[in-house]
Amino acid sequence: MVATMTDLPPAPAPFATRAADGFEIRGHTWRAAAGDERRPVVVVNAATAVRSRYYARFAGFLAGQGCDVVTYDYRGIGESRPSSLRGFRAGWVDWGQLDFEAVLGHVARTFPGRPVDVVAHSIGGFVIGLAPSSDRIRRIVTVGAQFAYWRDYAARARWPMVAKWHLVMPAVTALAGYFPGRRLGWLEDVPAGVVRDWSRMKARFETSIGADDRPALAGRFASVTAPILAIGLADDPFGTVAAVDRLLAYYAGSARTHLRIAPAAVGAPAIGHFAFFHDRFRETLWPVPLAWLRTGRLPEPAIGTLLRSPAGADCARVPPPPPETDR
């Protein structure tokens, strides 16, 4: 399954926009070299502690296929980092109802009348449902999306992950005032509020998240009506079947398709939680989200195992689910 590249996209242009509380969110825009002026705009939501530049090659790929693409950093990360993170209390709710909301507003002003799609990695899929304007999104693709409830971690890695992310990370944060992830080789530095939300997460996010209007936040997810393709990788210790389905359950207003892909299906020894966006998967994995963004359907021939699909969807011709090694 190969996507043929069209015109190479131009270099991305930087942008800045302000959230409702005045904080400046920065990112980049890739504009397709040619195509229909009604073409979609794809917003890329990053994972926790991952800079938006990590998705640059994937954004360029989508732009080369005729989409305009917007990537951005949440407050406290990358281009949207303040001068000091010490005592900076931003949490996951801020990333959704302020930062992602600000980017949706920027897209609406910059590309008026255009359909807006979202590709979201890890916590980026959770962030979608927190934004008040997320009901305007046309289509959604998530990759390994969940909200880090520890019991959903893969059984083989659960206790080391609990120790690392739920014990060591908050302890170091309490001492430093933020999590110095870059210095420790654990991705990017992370604001203290995000560490709080991650380390205390329960089976229902609204019982543990740092926010005053938690019931209203949970209800906001149901207002999203965009069809969702949730891609899970069989060797991802975060994005297990239970974890992905736990988040999907909140999106009750959307038709939800959960597709599991094993590394062997694309001839890879491993993919895990991060490698989906590596350039080596340009011709094998990346055509899957591209097809969904273009048509709302899976490409043919299909790869992976379909665990959930909307009634009447033509997503058949996949084998029954094999046992996963991560549970």
Q: What is the pLDDT of residue 89?
A: 86
Is the pLDDT score of 178 beyond 70? Answer: yes
Q: Which domains does the chain have, with CATH numbers?
A: 13-148+211-308 (3.40.50.1820)
Work out the average pLDDT over 92-117: 97
pLDDT of 314 > 80? The answer is: no
- Residue 79 CA: distances (Å) to CA of 17, 42, 51, 95, 313: 12, 19, 8, 14, 40
Dihedral angle at the C-alpha atoms of 105, 109, 111, 115, nearest 10 degrees? Answer: 40
Beta bridge partners of 27: 15, 72
Statement: residue 3 has pLDDT above 80: no
- Per-residue pLDDT reduced to its tens digit, 208-256: 876 667 678 888 999 999 999 999 999 999 999 999 999 999 999 999 9
Looking at residue 108, what is its pLDDT? 98
> Going along 132-190, which residue ranges are E strands?
139-143
